[in-house]
Structure 1
Amino acid sequence: MKPLHLLLALCIGLILGGCASSDTGPIPPKTVDSVDFKRYQGKWFELARLPMFFQRDCAQSEAHYNLKPDGSVGVLNRCQTLEGEWQEASGNATPQVPGKTDKLWVEFDNWFSTVLPGVTKGEYWVLYVGDDYQTALVGNPDRKYLWILSRKPTVPAWQRESLLAKARQQGYDTNRLIWRVADKDMLAHKP
């Protein structure tokens, strides 16, 4: 075999060997066993986030969930900018696996989802919810997005640290979190 052919065969073998690797990537985060949608519905304040693009101008955010008769969950996300304006996005959440409530598909009602239905679904995995349904951690499987949620706009320092520890245990980079801007801070930023 000529040296050039040998080198080419070796390169092709390495490329194909890399494609056939048994490495399936990192282990996905662990979700809760189930979510009681009746208890989960209502208003949640976002304490901190690893944000999605559309949240780039948000100073304060909240999510409103309501259980629908068909078993899906209506979603209304509200975001207040530093200028004090509210932006809203509504959508629907459905279980990824029928009968399981820990991993949801969320699709918002916008022009993009109208043009490409089903393509714009986001993964919403409930990683933790307190026994009293007062705090929750929600993320996506590739750990790019994370939301720390609470029924109140603030939590005690010990509870905040506990939520951060749970997020870190799941492999989320909590150093990159963007925290909710306090109301008094928003007033200081208003023009």
Structure 2
Amino acid sequence: MALGLVLLTSCGSKKALTTVNELDKEQYLGTWYEIQRFPHSFEKDLQCVTATYTLREDGKINVLNKGFDGEKWREADGKAWTPNADKPGELKVEFFWPFAGDYYIIETDPAKYSLVGAPDREYLWILAREKSLDDVTLNRLRTRAEKLGSDISKLEEVHHNCEE
């Protein structure tokens, strides 16, 4: 799921992934809707996927990912943190200790959208504050991801028409 279940990402020969230089954690908190994503086993057949981020007392971020598999809602709880204060867009996320994966915020307008990936280009999410994202912004984010070395032909739509 969005922050989710990225266990370990490998270091490859790809160019370093550029992330945001500044990030206001408070503005980034709240619920995000997956709009598009790369397919992975931990999100197989999930629709209506959201990631909700809340601040912990220790300064880390609680992560609650939720998605519907066609029969029931599935949830995953984890935590995220910024290991290097000089790189606020490069976060680690952990759902199963001791495994932590990369969550790189490539571009964001915290009130509207976020483009998130991993340095190995094996993970990519386009997130939004609403259940949909305008075509202009969506296409711009897809183009940006492609220019950074992601194979955007792998992106799949995430639908948000589930009943609670």
**TM-score bracket for the superposition, by shorter chain length:** 0.7 to 0.9
> Which stretches in structure 1 are left out of the alignment for 5+ residues?
1-23
- Number of aligned residue pairs: give it: 152
Q: 2:108 aligns with which of 111, 129, 133?
A: 129
Asked whether 1:179 is paired with 2:164, we answer no
Q: Is the 8 A contact 2:64 2:77 kept in 1?
A: yes
Alignment of 1:11-160 (within 5 A): 25-83=13-71, 85-98=72-85, 100-108=87-95, 113=96, 117-118=97-98, 120-130=99-109, 133-160=111-138
Q: Which position in structure 2 is the counterpart of 1:170?
A: 148
> Contact conserved, 2:39 with 2:154, CA < 8 A, in 1?
no
- Residue type matched to 1:88 in 2? E
CA distance in 2, matches of 1:33, 1:43: 22
The CA distance in 1 between the partners of 2:145 and 2:87, in whole Å, is 22
Given the two structures, how large is their TM-score scaled by the length of structure 1?
0.74
- The AA in structure 2 aligned to 1:37 is K
Which is helix-richer, 1 or 2? Answer: 1
Q: Aligned partners of 1:88 and 1:141: how far apart in 2?
A: 25
Give distance in 1, aligned partners of 2:160 and 2:93.
Answer: 28
CA distance in 2, matches of 1:157, 1:126: 20
How far apart are residue 148 of structure 1 and its match?
A: 0.3
1:140-166 CA distances to partner (integer Å, 9 max, x unpaired)? 110000010000001121121111112
**CA deviation after TM superposition for structure 1 residue 99, in Å:** 5.5
1:167 is displaced (CA, Å) by: 1.3
Could you say what secondary structure the match of 1:121 adopts? Answer: strand
Q: SS of 2:84's equivalent?
A: coil
Question: CA offsets per residue over residues 23-77 of structure 1, 9 Å max, x none?
Answer: x722121111021110000000000101332101212210000122221111000
Q: What is the RMSD computed on CA atoms of the aligned residues? A: 1.7
Whole-Å Cα distance in 2 between the matches of residues 150 and 82 of structure 1? 22
Deviation at 1:98, TM superposition (A): 4.1
Partners in 1 of 2:160 and 2:25 — Cα distance? Answer: 29
- Larger Rg, first or second structure (1 or 2): 1
1:182 Cα deviation after fit? 4.4
Question: TM-score, normalized by length of structure 2?
Answer: 0.85
Identity of aligned residues (%): 32
**Equivalent residues of 2:49, 2:160 under 8 A apart:** no
Structure 2 segments unaligned to the other structure (5+ residues): 1-11
Letter of the structure 2 residue corresponding to residue 175 of structure 1: S
